[in-house]
Chains A and B, each alone.
Chain A
Amino acid sequence: MDIEQFKSVVLPLQNQFYRYAFWLTKDSDDAEDLAQETMIRMWNMGAKLGKYQNFLALGNRITKNLFIDNQRKRSRETALADDLEIIDNHSASDLQLMLSEGERTISELIERLSPVQQEILYLRNVEQKSIKEIAEIVRMKPNTIEVTLSRLRRNLREQYLKIQNYENRGS
């Protein structure tokens, strides 16, 4: 794939890659780095890139894998920092500053889900993709997506209410 093709098929997806990276990292700088790395990986695929049908699906997969790798690296570093008793001065991410208390609860609940479950919620509720599109991106059957969405939404509501009730009782 030459640079002109790359510009016409991959670059237009940059906002979606960035949003997905932001959804995962919850930090604008980290999201920018992650989105950039994703597209560089795609560019480095050279001729192989042209064989893919769905660039969004490919990019999301790369983003997700890079994010998981980074997280593993980071958790190892954090463990090391804990061992060495380095004080953790981790500051609140960009997103946390924008969230209300209820939204923060939702954010924490979503973080407990598996990467694929999180991706499905993201594709539907942030990118507003159809069931069929989601199914193509995460490579599952449309029917499975519907069932998963329903289950995830119900669970989120249930757990959210549990936390709210608990907090109300405590106050």
Chain B
Amino acid sequence: MKTEEAKALLEKYYAGTSSVEEESQLEAYLQKPDIPEEFYAAREEFFYYGKFRNEEAPLSLETKLLDEIATKRKPGGKILNWFSPTGIAAAIAFLVVGFGIGRFSIEDSKEPTEVDALREEVAHIKQIMALSLLEQNSVHDRLKAVAMAADLDTNQDIITALIKTMNTDSNVNIRLASIEALSKFLDQDVVVQSMIDALAKQQSLPVRLELARIMIANREKASLPILEEIIKDGSLDAQVKEDITKGIQTITTGI
């Protein structure tokens, strides 16, 4: 293209009336080494846009996306329907404000009843949030929920939700986290029993080992038959087998 033609295109470009094709022609002209100075600004502009035009999504994008969608949990209990992400955000904001007020009141006021009521309310909101977060699709949200649940006082709804998560969550890390959270409630028979059941049913080795560790630490006699079953597994790591065998002895002898 001749410089004169390019100048005419440049003018159209700045007037906002050039077509996509004309802009491509202009871009081709700008690649030339010796162009007049009046093209310099446009050249830097076009070169900048060009940096983006060749960018393509990495292959991992599609894989990760489809993986995330595949592990998507079905919308479950009513709580999820009540609590949209906006609702959760509002609850968090409320919680933060609540804590702020709570702390303030503890420092400045001498009316324990109000503080107690507020604290109770915060705990209640926290519980609802934890329960609703457990139903979310994102692994991050569910992990957060388990951590939040672990901080709450003993509460049947939370325990039931954690047991369900331990048994059914698709993500091993979340199952492990829920086991850790549940281990705080070992004084409850239902928790111990559910762990023993899980020990028998879970397929994932890290999950089973974590459960076995807790059973041994807690000297749960009822877990003995399953622990003995586990060490029969020929593929088990020698060290793990030794640890569990010792654990069985500890439970049996009480020493």
Cα A161 to Cα B38 in complex, Å, equals 10
Interface residue range, chain B: 20 to 34
Q: A14-B62, A32-B61, A128-B20 are in contact. Are A95 and B49 (CB under 8 A)?
A: no
Partner of A157, one of B14, B20, B61, B72: B14
- A contact residues around B60 at 8 Å (CB): 32
Contact A99 B14 (CB under 8 A): no
Contact B14 A105 (CB under 8 A): no
A6: nearest chain-B partner, CB-CB: B69
Contact B17 A146 (CB under 8 A): yes
Interface residue range, chain A: 35 or more
Is there a chain A Cβ closer than 8 Å to B45's Cβ? yes
Produce 1/0 per residue, A97-141, CB < 8 A to B. Answer: 011101101110010000000000110111011100000000000
- B contact residues around A147 at 8 Å (CB): 16
- Interface SS of chain A: helix, strand, loop or mixed? helix
Partner of B44, one of A6, A98, A160: A160
Contact A15 B46 (CB under 8 A): no
Cα A85 to Cα B41 in complex, Å, equals 39
- B contact residues around A105 at 8 Å (CB): 44
- A contact residues around B13 at 8 Å (CB): 153
Cα A39 to Cα B64 in complex, Å, equals 11
- A contact residues around B24 at 8 Å (CB): 128
Enumerate B46-61 residues with CB–CB distance to A below 8 Å: 46-49, 51-53, 55-58, 60-61
Interface window among A16-24, A60-68, A74-82: A16-24
Is there a chain B Cβ closer than 8 Å to A150's Cβ? yes
- B contact residues around A126 at 8 Å (CB): 49, 52-53
- Count CB-based A-B contacts (< 8 Å): 108
Contact B47 A100 (CB under 8 A): yes
Q: A99-B48, A106-B48, A126-B49 are in contact. Are A157 and B57 (CB under 8 A)?
A: no
A29: nearest chain-B partner, CB-CB: B58
Is there a chain B Cβ closer than 8 Å to A156's Cβ? yes
Is there a chain B Cβ closer than 8 Å to A149's Cβ? yes
Contact B20 A106 (CB under 8 A): no
Partner of A28, one of B20, B40, B49, B58: B58
Cα A105 to Cα B57 in complex, Å, equals 26
Contact B48 A150 (CB under 8 A): no
Contact A22 B137 (CB under 8 A): no
Cα A148 to Cα B55 in complex, Å, equals 26
Enumerate B22-54 residues with CB–CB distance to A below 8 Å: 23-24, 40-49, 51-53
Is there a chain A Cβ closer than 8 Å to B65's Cβ? yes
The smallest beta-carbon distance between A19 and chain B, in angstroms, is 5
Contact A130 B20 (CB under 8 A): yes
Contact B65 A156 (CB under 8 A): no
* Top 6 A-B pairs, shortest CB-CB distance: A150-B16, A18-B57, A102-B44, A125-B49, A149-B16, A157-B41
Binding site for B on A (CB under 8 A): 3, 6, 11, 14-15, 17-19, 22-23, 28, 31-32, 35-36, 39-40, 43-44, 95, 98-100, 102-103, 105-107, 110, 121-122, 124-126, 128-130, 146-151, 153-154, 156-157, 160-161, 164
7 CB-based A-B contacts, threshold 8 Å: A14-B61, A22-B52, A40-B137, A110-B48, A126-B52, A150-B14, A160-B41
